[in-house]
């Protein structure tokens, strides 16, 4: 029985996103990482793909694609007939040879599309292999002595000492120390990252390099089973399995192929009976043109390219199933801090109380924050300087700074001003009120309403006092990242519900949710609450995606249909998720969903095109086959093709070339546009359905003109 989230911890924004309150602070820009742009047809990849196009002709390989396997059998059959009839003067050897050749090209082009998609992954795998090297690990023994051991001989639980300049010998967790680590070999990001013992940033990856400080790493993976090893296997496609949708589509395509095969086989007896016996070559050409060769030849490439697009975004999908599931996601669970907001509370406004002037409050705020080295403290100083023209150096002459402590929950400054000692403090409103009262002062009546208003709006109030006199309040707020509101609107257009997860109280959570434009929120969330919410969404027939980085996130990541673990997180989180974000950017979850949807849209669009363009081939081949026996069928020759042979050959050539033309679309994917399912369907039918009907008529006619001009009739 799944546990439902409590009423106090969750609130649904049923009427859509709440209107955003006016932002008082300065804007903060959020720069989305751009995907790594690589050419589709790099020379090295193309050369490898050309070779593999022939390697893949092995029947055992081709049998995995029933549609193209039938085409290969047809190619072999027509080739044998060509050589068998070389001495027969009654046979049009040029026609038979060209049909056989273009059938082989059809198979090779399909293999080439798959090989190019695989080649991009193999190129990335080659780069990753260069990061793997046999290193000597400094294994710490129980008596604290160090024994150098080859990294290939490490076992789970070994404690390895890693010093500046050393490669981390294997995947593990830091159990002692803190260090900057160069992870560019994995992430492509040149800036080093901080890794430290304890918390959610303790995981390290074998093959990365320590740049500073000394750490002790506990090995958690056996040699050959590390993260880089799994990355290599995945990007190469060695572990790729067909997704459920892909399997279902394969079954459909196989069924259509079987139907057309039976139709073609039964056509010959009827043709003989009517006195219009057909050449086997013509029947093979008819079969190949009628079965869904276009989508059959590109189906594997589409799936492989989907995973490749994830890699371009620095997201490692553990399976094609995960990529496909991302396309069907209908609910996103997103952490507030670091995902929707920047995670650092920033100063938004200074609000005086008790008749205090803005200038007096600003000066006190600046002085009280000079000892505060937190991001919040620095933002207060910056706001005071920028809005009120204050100079921190002029005010610091003989001041004694009082740092923040957990006991006092205040910071400030003591200094002498015109012969009298002043003590200015800034901190939590209850602590500061107590400090003022103990000093013989009183709290102004207008303080409480201001504090309540700030808290209601999702901000954090900090009171400021000069001795026994309360001067005002600092409004701190966690700023929503730029562009998030628009992205949530796009997801809403796709029918995807967004849920913000936060540890804040419901009042603050509601305010942030309203500003960000999310559909729902879960406040004061515990790991159990997250799992309960996932189960509740899944019970309603929805697929759920979420991100996480900590060990406490692992159960929810494992439960979610799409779990994106941060590379900076714990090993447990990375093991539980079915995707790993190498950039450790929680907002990447939105990109993941869009890529998944693009994969499904691409597959649907090209399937629509493939089935639609078969219609034109009926008008090309069927009249050509029987027009000699039944002249009235010439009325169906609406393209006015030159001859029976040129019509059949033009259809076969078009059938091969259209695969080549669609390879870039299969690899790049159909351009993603936010919209509902009905809108996407209409767009696909208009562009790829109607386009699939028109393109063959134009293409076959042009090819026929070329064939006729060259005298191949």
Distance separating alpha carbons of residues 382 and 360, to the nearest angstrom: 16
- Give, in order, the Cα–Cα distances in Å from 197 to each of 146, 180, 216, 367, 563: 20, 12, 9, 36, 24
What are the beta bridge partners of residue 383? none
User: Nearest CA to 183 among 174, 196, 195?
Assistant: 195
The vertex-10 CA angle with 4 and 11, nearest 5°, equals 125
Residues 364/399, Cβ–Cβ less than 8 Å: no
As a whole number of angstroms, the distance between CA 92 and CA 643 comes to 13
38: helix, strand or coil: coil
- The answer to whether the beta carbons of residues 199 and 175 sit under 8 Å apart is no
Distance, in Å, from the CA atom of 351 to the CA atom of 360, rounded to the nearest integer, reads 11
Rounded Cα gap, residues 265 and 294, in angstroms: 22
DSSP reduced 3-state for 346: strand
Residue 444, φ and ψ in degrees, nearest 5? -60, 150
Rounded CA-CA distance 538/21 in Å is 33
Residue 339 CA to residue 314 CA, distance in Å, equals 17
Q: Hey, how many other C-beta atoms are within 10 angstroms of the C-beta on 416?
A: 12
- Rounded CA gap, 444 and 441, in Å? 10
Q: Check: CB of residue 133 under 8 Å from CB of residue 166.
A: no
d(CA 633, CA 618): 12
Q: What 8-state DSSP symbol labels residue 471?
A: E
Judge whether 335 counts as a catalytic residue: yes
Long-range (24+ apart) CB contacts under 8 A made by 675-682 are 675/493, 675/494, 676/493, 676/494, 676/495, 677/495, 680/601
Whether the Cβ atoms of residue 567 and residue 187 lie closer than 8 Å to each other: yes
- Report the alpha-carbon distance of residue 523 to residue 313 in Å, rounded: 30
Whether 606 contacts 662, CB under 8 Å: yes
Residue 458 gets the label, from left (phi > 0), alpha (psi -120 to 50) or beta, of: left
| Cα–Cα distance measured from residue 284 to residue 78, given in angstroms and rounded to the nearest whole number | 8
Cα dist from 459 to 349, 364, 450, 453, 507, whole Å: 11, 21, 11, 9, 10
The catalytic residue among 335, 561, 581, 704 is: 335
The DSSP line for 96-153 is HHHHHHHHHHHHHHHHHHHHHHHHHHHHHHHHHHHH----EEEEEPTTS-EEEEEGGG
Structure token pair of residue 658:
């259209």
Q: What DSSP designation does 632 have?
A: G
Q: How far is CA 580 from the centre of its chain?
A: 10
Handedness of CA 314, 319, 322, 325 (dihedral sign): positive
Q: Which two tokens stand for residue 351?
A: 């609000």
Measured CA to CA in angstroms, residue 297 lies from 52, 613, 692 at distances of: 15, 14, 16
Which of 512, 546, 536 has its CA nearest to residue 332?
A: 546
Which residue(s) pair with 497 in the sheet?
Answer: 331
Nearest to 8 by CA among 525, 553, 539, 535: 525
d(CA 12, CA 157): 46
Q: Mind telling me the catalytic residues?
A: 335
């Amino acid at each position: 029985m799944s546990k439902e989230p409590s009423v106090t911890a969750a609130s649904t924004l049923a009427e859509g996103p709440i209107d955003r309150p006016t932002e008082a602070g300065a804007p903060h820009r959020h720069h989305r990482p751009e995907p790594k742009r690589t050419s589709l047809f790099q020379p090295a990849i193309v050369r490898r793909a050309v070779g593999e196009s022939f390697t893949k002709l092995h029947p055992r390989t081709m049998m995995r694609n029933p549609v193209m396997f039938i085409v290969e059998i047809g190619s072999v059959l027509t080739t044998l007939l060509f050589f068998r009839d070389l001495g027969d003067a009654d046979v049009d050897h040029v026609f038979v040879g060209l049909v056989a050749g273009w059938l082989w090209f059809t198979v090779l082009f399909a293999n080439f599309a798959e090989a190019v998609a695989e080649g991009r992954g193999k190129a990335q795998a080659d780069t990753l292999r260069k990061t793997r090297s046999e290193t000597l690990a400094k294994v710490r023994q129980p008596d604290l002595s160090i024994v150098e051991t080859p990294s290939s001989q490490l076992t789970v639980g070994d404690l390895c000492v890693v010093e500046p300049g050393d490669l981390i010998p294997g995947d593990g967790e830091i159990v002692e120390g803190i260090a900057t680590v160069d992870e560019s070999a994995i992430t492509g990001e040149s800036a080093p990252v901080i890794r430290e013992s304890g918390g959610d940033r303790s995981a390290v990856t074998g093959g990365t390099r320590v740049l500073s400080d000394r750490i002790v790493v506990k090995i958690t993976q056996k040699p050959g089973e590390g993260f880089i090893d799994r990355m290599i296997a995945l990007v190469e496609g060695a572990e790729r399995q067909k997704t459920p949708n892909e399997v279902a589509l394969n079954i459909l395509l196989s069924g259509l192929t079987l139907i057309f095969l039976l139709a073609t086989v039964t056509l010959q007896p009827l043709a003989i009976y009517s006195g219009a016996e057909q050449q086997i070559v013509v029947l093979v050409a008819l079969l190949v043109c009628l079965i869904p060769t276009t989508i059959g030849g590109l189906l594997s490439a589409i799936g492989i390219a989907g995973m490749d697009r994830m890699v371009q975004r620095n997201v490692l999908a553990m399976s094609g199933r995960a990529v496909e599931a991302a396309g069907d996601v209908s609910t996103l669970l997103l952490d507030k801090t670091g995902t929707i907001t920047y995670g650092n509370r920033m100063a938004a406004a200074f609000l005086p109380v008790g008749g205090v002037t803005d200038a007096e409050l600003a000066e006190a705020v600046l002085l009280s924050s000079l000892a505060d080295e937190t991001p919040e403290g620095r933002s207060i100083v910056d706001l005071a300087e920028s809005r009120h023209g204050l100079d921190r150096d002029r005010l610091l002459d003989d001041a004694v700074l009082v740092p923040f402590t957990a006991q006092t929950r205040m910071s400030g400054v003591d200094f002498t001003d015109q012969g009298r000692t002043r003590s200015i403090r800034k901190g939590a409103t209850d602590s500061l009120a107590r400090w003022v009262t103990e000093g013989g002062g009183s709290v102004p009546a207008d303080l409480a309403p201001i504090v309540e208003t700030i808290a209601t709006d999702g901000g954090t109030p900090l009171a400021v006092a000069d001795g026994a006199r309360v001067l005002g309040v600092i409004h701190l707020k966690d700023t929503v990242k730029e562009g998030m509101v628009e992205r949530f609107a796009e997801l809403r257009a796709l029918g995807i519900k967004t849920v913000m997860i936060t540890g804040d109280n419901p009042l603050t959570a509601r305010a942030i949710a309203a500003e960000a434009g999310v559909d729902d929120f879960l406040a004061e969330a515990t790991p159990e609450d997250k799992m309960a919410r996932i189960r509740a969404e899944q019970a309603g027939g929805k697929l759920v995606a979420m991100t996480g980085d900590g060990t406490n996130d692992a159960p929810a990541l494992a439960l979610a249909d799409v779990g994106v673990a941060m590379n900076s997180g714990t090993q447990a989180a990375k093991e539980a998720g079915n995707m790993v974000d190498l950039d450790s950017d929680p907002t990447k979850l939105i990109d993941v969903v869009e890529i998944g949807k693009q994969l499904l849209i691409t597959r649907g669009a090209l399937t629509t095109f493939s089935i639609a363009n078969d219609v034109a081939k009926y008008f090309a081949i069927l009249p050509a086959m029987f027009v000699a026996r039944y002249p009235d069928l010439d009325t169906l020759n609406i393209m006015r093709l030159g001859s029976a042979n040129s019509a059949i050959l033009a259809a076969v050539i078009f059938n091969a070339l259209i695969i080549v033309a669609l390879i870039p679309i299969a690899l790049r994917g159909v351009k993603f546009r936010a919209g509902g399912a009905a809108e996407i369907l209409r767009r696909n039918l208009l562009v790829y359905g109607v386009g699939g009907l028109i393109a063959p008529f134009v293409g076959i006619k042009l090819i026929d003109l070329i064939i006729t001009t060259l005298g191949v009739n």
